[in-house]
Amino acid sequence: MHTTGWVTVIRIDLHTHTYRSGDAKTPLLEFAECAIGLDLIAITDHHDLYAAGILREQFSLPVIQGEEINTGQGEVIGLYLTESIPRLLGLAETCKRIRDQHGLVYVPHPTDTSRHAIGIERLANLCQRNLVDIIEVGNSKSAQIDRQAEVLARSFELPVVAASDAHVAEAIGSSFTTISRLPNDASELVTLLLNSSYHHQAFDPVRDATRTIILPSNSGKS
């Protein structure tokens, strides 16, 4: 929690990765140490929920349990999940399964053609079907704000955020969003984000290729 004058500011990063993603290498202890400046953080490993629980229970980190999911039509993130969602189910089915868990549908890097983006047309279609809760317009792995996605989000009165998409520890919190207080649940987070501010910083350091990549597993084992 940060105070500017008389105003309390809560810093959140809703898109981060640990070694459990397979393409990231951050051990959980190092992750916890680098996340110390954040008031709330979503762990969104690829197809894996293990790290979120450990970081919450053993490291007392204020965590939202999430998952970045390859739908076969681009990636979406589920926040406040209780169970992992299978890959390659398609966008609409994946979003519905997130909602079935009372989770939030978060669309990362919507128009970034260098990654598994869903694209602006599919994003618009999901918005029209009321299957989107949060749209990411700032991502530390990109130098530019996604103005196209931001205009679309505003037209549907959806909240926009910036997040780090951290795949290395030093990137955690490099881009973040500020809200006025900590949410009690998923729906309250969306309400708070409607009056939030985002802070974008391009920051994508080279990953250390000499460190072993540990592939993710849903078995619950480290």
Predicted confidence (pLDDT) per residue in 30-39, tens digit: 999 999 999 9
Q: What is the pLDDT of residues 44-80, one digit of tens each?
A: 999 999 999 999 999 999 999 999 999 999 999 999 9
Instruction: Please compute the mean of the pLDDT values over residues 19-37 and round it to a whole number.
Output: 95
Among candidate residues 173, 185, 161, the one with its CA nearest the CA of residue 80: 185
Query: For the chain, what is the mean pLDDT?
Result: 92
Alpha-helix runs per DSSP H in the chain: 28-34, 50-57, 91-100, 120-128, 147-155, 186-193
Q: For residue 103, name the pLDDT band (cuts at 50, 70, 90).
A: very high
Crossing angle for the helix pair 120-128 and 147-155, to the nearest 10 degrees: 10
Instruction: Please compute the mean of the pLDDT values over residues 9-14 and round it to a whole number.
Output: 97
Q: Please report the pLDDT score of residue 25 as a whole number.
A: 87
Q: For residue 3, name the pLDDT band (cuts at 50, 70, 90).
A: low
First-residue to last-residue Cα distance in the chain: 31
Q: What is the pLDDT of residues 110-135, one digit of tens each?
A: 999 888 999 999 999 999 999 999 99
Share of the chain above pLDDT 70, in %: 89
Half-sphere CA count of 144, side-chain side, radius 13 A: 9
Among candidate residues 120, 179, 112, the one with its CA nearest the CA of residue 141: 112
Q: Please report the pLDDT score of residue 222 as a whole number.
A: 30
Q: What is the pLDDT of residues 167-187, one digit of tens each?
A: 999 999 999 999 999 999 999
Rounded CA separation 199/27 (Å):
26
Q: What is the pLDDT of residues 80-97, one digit of tens each?
A: 999 999 999 999 999 999
Q: Please report the pLDDT score of residue 208 as a whole number.
A: 64
DSSP string, 61-80: --EEEEEEEE-SSSEEEEES
Q: Is the pLDDT of residue 21 over 70?
A: yes
Structure tokens at 153: 């989000």
Rounded CA separation 33/215 (Å):
22
Q: Is the pLDDT of residue 6 over 80?
A: no
Domains (range + CATH), the chain = 9-199 (3.20.20.140)
The structure's pTM equals 0.91
Task: State whether residue 55 is helix, strand or coil.
Answer: helix
Half-sphere CA count of 189, side-chain side, radius 13 A: 24
Amino acid present at 133: D
Q: Is the pLDDT of residue 218 over 50?
A: no
